Chain A
């Protein structure tokens, strides 16, 4: 057996190596630089099942946005936020690359420095809580039929039409609007069908039948990503995003993600029509 003899100089080098190792090798160290993804952060407003930390891959639209960025080989992260007021804050920051969601409260002034890229056309319906309304609420396409009632609007939603129809408006977060319906502090709300189904299943499973959808859709709203043109790379990255979106629509990824999450082939067909119209 060969004797292992280490010369003093080598020993010193080895010793210095071992002395330096424990500084970094005794366990995870918490610092913002190794854990935070601050590059190309998109701030998104919670809206299950489209955008939600509760949903697989953070929801259908989060997965689509990540797929588009990946297609263009752009690193990104999505921070999902529960409050519209925080999205409003990020809209005012030059350092924000993009925000996404529904009813973000974007003013005409804000809009001048944003580039909107629609991701999904949400067809919405009015809902009310049947046990508190012995007489069914009827919309039938006319807001005047709901005069005198109280509408639960999403924070950031444009509500002039309701006020003009003498309908009182109260704001709230998506889930809290359902709670307000049940409590009777609002009479009706407007919600994407998929969001209503998700929330009722998760939070009101035993009484989901008490939440009734009115006849006639309440309208269509785009759920979009808005690039901030004041951001140094906002315009360029918005262009890349649009190109990437075109690619994943063409290669079928957009449709397959929607199908996986929403399980509604008719809706996917409708969305493809809409997105192709936009991309033309």
Chain B
């Protein structure tokens, strides 16, 4: 069985602070990841109590250099992206190219239940810190390697960013207008999807290790987490195999009354697929004369383009007389599927999310108090807690190495090397 000393320490901490036990608070994760995908997956574990030791290179995780920055100041302790991705983790700076960095890594590995990394494939092996290194230290320790295209194959060394990931692996091809280029999702949404998909793999790696007493080296390729994902890509591939049909790039999908996005008094509302319940749509509209026209009630009406255009003419007027919140309130009353297009200001101020406790606040040594989304989901037992904000670079190097039993000389060496960029 894995070494539980670190877990016992974590439990003791929770007892001392009087906080309830968390589901994963007996696990130690040695986190060698950076940027978005790996850190998001390990954040999910850290938020449920795991002691995630984030190993940063001298100079820090690249996400510290990506915005948005508080006050638009590109300071490594002011990235809102890094701040969100690394709550509840501890930061240790190690230079893995140097001896003391490797010695420290070996000490940390002894205490860990899982190692996660997302260096370019082959990097750790070249440093002598790959699968064999960890196996020699602790045979039951699993290693999850996250990479762009996987640990082997012709694209093994290829680079990839959000637009390339979603273009190659995701459903980007059918997104947008027929006569324009395919268009991606917002921000780095695909990276977050792949990070979310990695989290169950991290848990599975720990479970198989505990059950068998032997670790395994798991290979997570971002491109494959996209290709097998639920957001239409897998299904469009099957549709082709079944029917020879490909998916046209076109705004909206399907037909109906209503269908798609409509402007309203102060923005837009999305009624995708709302037309599948015409009875509810009539209720939402409060049965005006124009909408009760029996021609619209025919089963074939939803395939009749001329009739839909006529119906849309009246519906558009109804929308334009109302704000997006008013339209949505009528839709909710009648149980019609609808979503107003919120801006970030709308979302941030919205009373529903405020009232539910979706937002949380963290106090940070450099940024002060910052508001951010809290729990990913609610567990009635052992769930999310904000125990600490994202760490300052190397904030816990000394603390963590002391816990791991490092000598004073080793700690001094690590601190000296880590200070160099």
**Are these two chains actual partners, yes or no?**
no
